[in-house]
C-alpha cells in the first residue's frame, strides 16, 4: 500500500464521523466526462453553437425546452455507467461500520448504486423527474422513452409529458440560474460541521456555492484527493495526487 494511502487509512480508522465531498472527478472513471475537461461537455456537440452553461440554464430550458432536452439527453445521461472503485470503496467504509456521509456535486446516482446510504446530492439527480404542473414523479426510463415525448400540437420531439395531466416533465437537477435545495444544503452543512474527518475528492473546488461548503469544516483532519492543485491544498493535512479510484481500491474496504 502506498504511504499516502496508509496515512489515509489511519485517519479513516481513527475517525468517528466522516464526510466525503466529491465532484465530477469521482465519476470520470465510470466513463462520465468531467464538465470542464478537454473531453467534457465544453468539447461536446459543437453543432449547438452555445456554451454548456447556457444550454443547461433555467432560462434556456424555459425558452427552448426541446433543444434543452435534446442536449440534456445526449450529454448528461449515461445509462451504462457503473460505480467505480471510488464509489465502491466509499460504500465499503460504511459497511465496515464507520459513520460516513457523502456530499456530492454529481447527478448520476452512482454512490447509491454502489451501496452508500447517506448521500446528499447538491445538484439533484438525473434519475428523478417531476411534472411541473401536478408534481407527479417519473424515473429516467420514462423521460427517455420517445413515446412519452409525443404530444399532439406541442411541436416538440424531445420533451417528456406527464401521463396524468399533460404537463411538462423536467429533471430534478439544479440548472444554472437556480438555487440549491434548502433541505439538502442544511443536511450537507450539518454533516460537515459535525465531521472530524473531511475527505475531498475529484473536484477543483472552483464552482460555488458548492465549493464554499468546505468553510464549514472545523474538524481534525482534511484530506484532498485530486489530480490537480486546488485553492485549499495548503489547509490540508494530507494531499494525494493520484486517481481517486486507485486510492480507494488500495484502502481495501
The per-residue pLDDT for range 105-125, each reduced to its tens digit, is 999 999 999 999 999 999 999
Listed by start position, the domains of the chain span: 1-32+83-123+180-253, 33-77+125-173
Predicted structure pTM score: 0.93
pLDDT at 108: 97
pLDDT at 39: 47
Q: Which CATH superfamily is domain 1-32+83-123+180-253 in?
A: TPP-binding domain (3.40.50.1220)
> Beta-strand (E) ranges in 36-182?
99-104, 119-121, 124-131, 137-138, 169-173
pLDDT at 74: 87
Given a contact cutoff of 8 angstroms between Cβ atoms, the answer to whether 161 and 147 are in contact is no
The catalytic residues are 123
Tell me which architecture the domain covering 33-77+125-173 has in CATH.
2-Layer Sandwich (3.30)
Looking only at the bridges linking them, the beta strands covering 124-131 and 119-121 are unpaired
Distance from C-alpha of 23 to C-alpha of 190, rounded to nearest angstrom:
19
Comparing CA positions, the residue from 150, 115, 114, 144 lying closest to residue 127 is 144
Q: Do 1-32+83-123+180-253 and 33-77+125-173 agree at the fold level?
A: no
pLDDT at 49: 78
Distance from C-alpha of 152 to C-alpha of 30, rounded to nearest angstrom:
38
Given a contact cutoff of 8 angstroms between Cβ atoms, the answer to whether 4 and 183 are in contact is no
pLDDT along the chain (253 residues), means of 10: 92 97 94 66 64 90 94 92 97 96 97 97 97 98 95 84 96 96 97 97 81 91 93 93 94 89
pLDDT at 2: 87
Amino acid at each position: 500500500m502506498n504511504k499516502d494511502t496508509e496515512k489515509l487509512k489511519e485517519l479513516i480508522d481513527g475517525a468517528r464521523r466522516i464526510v466525503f465531498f466529491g465532484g465530477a472527478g469521482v465519476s470520470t472513471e465510470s466513463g462520465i466526462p468531467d464538465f470542464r475537461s478537454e473531453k467534457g461537455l465544453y468539447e461536446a456537440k459543437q453543432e449547438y453553437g452555445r456554451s454548456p452553461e447556457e444550454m443547461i440554464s433555467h432560462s434556456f430550458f424555459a425558452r427552448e425546452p426541446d433543444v434543452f432536452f435534446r442536449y440534456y439527453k445526449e450529454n448528461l445521461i449515461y445509462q451504462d455507467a457503473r460505480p467505480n472503485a471510488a464509489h465502491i470503496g466509499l460504500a465499503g467504509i460504511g459497511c465496515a461500520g464507520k459513520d460516513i456521509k457523502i456530499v456530492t456535486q454529481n447527478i448520476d446516482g452512482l454512490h447509491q448504486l454502489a451501496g452508500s446510504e447517506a448521500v446528499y446530492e447538491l445538484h439533484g439527480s438525473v434519475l428523478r423527474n417531476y411534472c411541473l404542473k401536478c408534481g407527479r414523479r417519473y424515473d429516467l426510463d420514462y423521460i427517455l422513452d420517445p413515446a412519452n415525448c409525443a404530444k399532439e400540437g406541442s411541436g416538440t420531439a424531445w420533451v417528456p409529458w406527464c401521463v396524468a395531466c399533460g404537463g411538462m416533465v423536467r429533471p430534478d437537477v439544479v440548472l444554472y440560474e437556480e438555487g440549491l435545495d434548502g433541505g439538502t444544503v442544511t443536511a450537507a452543512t450539518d454533516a460537515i460541521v459535525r465531521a472530524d474527518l473531511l475527505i475531498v475528492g475529484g473536484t477543483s473546488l472552483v464552482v460555488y456555492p458548492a465549493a464554499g461548503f468546505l468553510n464549514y469544516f472545523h474538524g481534525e483532519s482534511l484530506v484532498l484527493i485530486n489530480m490537480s492543485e486546488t485553492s485549499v491544498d495548503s489547509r490540508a493535512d494530507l494531499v494525494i495526487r493520484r486517481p481517486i479510484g486507485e486510492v480507494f481500491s488500495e484502502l481495501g474496504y
